[in-house]
Structure 1
Amino acid sequence: MGREHTGGAMPTMDVDRSDIEYRVWLKEAVRRVQADANRSADTHLLRFPLPERWGIDLYLKDESTHPTGSLKHRLARSLFLYALCNGWIRPGKPVIEASSGSTAVSEAYFAKLIGVPFVAVMPRTTSAEKCRLIEFHGGQCHFVDDPRVIYAESAALAERTGGHYMDQFTYAERATDWRGNNNIAESVYQQLRLERYPEPAWIVATAGTGGTSATIARYVHYMQYDTRICVADPENSCFFDGWTKGDPDATSDSGSRIEGIGRPRMEPSFLPGAIDRMMRVPDAASVAAVRALETVLGRKAGGSTGTGLWSAFKIVAEMVAEGRTGSVVTLLCDPGDRYLDKYYSDAWLAEQGLDIAPYTEAVRTLLATGVWPEAVTG
């Protein structure tokens, strides 16, 4: 028998006032992050012109039109919602992130949106424009000389400050809703509905965390599409070796010159078993491809866009050679104005010892003839 209430004030549970205040703050923080998604229109799918007779259509998903100017805006939003709903981000406590730049720009934006401090732990070689954008959105830049220590330094900084280490390299693949909900993969297929090849033969991604390729590959498998997924990897990255050798412990001793992609270790969010193919792309080829994009579409983009576009060009050439038709999709990851002192600087290329001339000529030959020059490696 339960106890009967015989009058007077009803008994109440003691609730900590600080917990009530936190739950009020949490509701408002989640609302603000979700409202950002509701305000943002979807990004465009640009068509890269190819000769009609080839029967092949090439598209770039233009992620540079997000409020923070890159593909990483989607990731940052997902990471913030994931961390907020897990109770990891707390009022007044800093969010710490290990990043090569673009993710940090987007996370600084969301940290400011919900009113918490943000600190980006980055290699000292990160472009000056990215650093400016992080600070513009209210974040701080914490530099390290060795890119391989950004993980440990981020965790230590979070420990010292009582903040939360976001750890995009671990949580990118699990924070994103890969089944749909307007993720990047679902968006691509919706935008291709009225095209002549609505189900692409290939989607080409590049990998920093590996979260984007994981999201796209999972969605393709979930929806039972026949699309194949290719991941393009730059020099000084271990992903290609780890994938080809089946080695989860593969490492690289050097940092990537193509900001935003390529890693010195196999990141937890990179899912080798979900993808169909990888290509290693020379850094000079990435620069040549991104400059070709500017020539053809009048759009400057970052080096990671060039890495994916170079691989997409190679796939197009293979399809032409084999007489296959269909569509190929790759990503325009972020705008080129963040890299004017790098990929658009001949002085920087000379300093790095990069000769883009043979790769530039290879792209010209492909677009004119459909033939991939055998002499060009990568």
Structure 2
Amino acid sequence: MQSDKQTILASFGQLNRHERFQIITKIVKDGSKTFVRKEAYSTESQDHIKSLFTNHKTIAKAIKTNTDVRLVNIIDAKPKQIDFEYISGQDLEQKVFKLILVHDYENAIKYINRVFDIIDVLSSKRSKQEDQIVKNINDIYGTSSDNSYISPGIIDLNLDNFFVDNNDKLVMFDYEWTLYQPVCVNYIKSRVLYYLLAQRYNALAQIPNDKHGFTLIDSGQDKILVPDKLFSLYKKYLSKDSIKKYLQAEAIFQDYVTNNQATNTKKIHFNYSISKVTSPNPVFPERFDALQNQFDALQNQFTGKVSELNSVIANQQEDISKLRAIISNIENSRSYKLLARYRGVKDKILPK
């Protein structure tokens, strides 16, 4: 899809990855149409772009029996870029979090379960032949017969990768991180919940008190405030063992994305604790004061530079005024006028 009338409305670079995964995402307007373009940043990432097309076919086929969700449509595909339909509106993560803020846990749980239902529909057995990244993640969860696996191995089924359309149907618009073999379901479900709650401690802490209360989980990396209504239902994926395994698996996955490695020797800081709280207080990061001091220092430095510059300008203006006065005195002097008269006579006698 290409015309001379295309306008780039926004552009985002995913460059903090290994070279083979680096892409540019653009929102493009072409006449009356708007679409999303993902393109390879370099030749090294062209295979990653091609995988988006291949994985689209695989996932669309896998979820076709689930009428509750659809995959974002592909408009055009080329070796170096792929164009998707543009979907505007509120993503599912925002929708669910707003429901939690008003204590509407019933509908919040319904939406979370709809994503979990998608995961369950794609349930599969563990593959005997696995890429190293898949093997290392699955090995963390052991070989229990209770384990189930999602196939294809869509890692990033977080709620912010779904939109809710006007008919309340889920639209999956980002499926970039899809591995080729089945991945343990426990990892994916813990990931969905962790991402939903881990970055929102302060917002949750300011919810007006209600009768339900919260469960505070300190993973050693994040403080997670979980409304008890959610914790009681999803305890399996938020227990000490589940969170520890999730953090280990996530570290392996992030290493894979940034370094193209699948190491299972990544050490993580883990010091899990759990407690019941009824009136949590917002806790700002320890770096807040340091960042505030840094901001104040930069502001003072900027103010000083501006003051210095204004002083230089003022001095220059004073010097310019002095020069203008000197020039004016010269032009009004008798000598200058005689010289000007002489030049006029000279030009008439000796024309150029």
| Alignment TM class, shorter chain as reference | under 0.3
Per the normalisation by structure 1, the TM-score is: 0.22
Q: Give the TM-score of the pair, scaled to structure 2.
A: 0.23
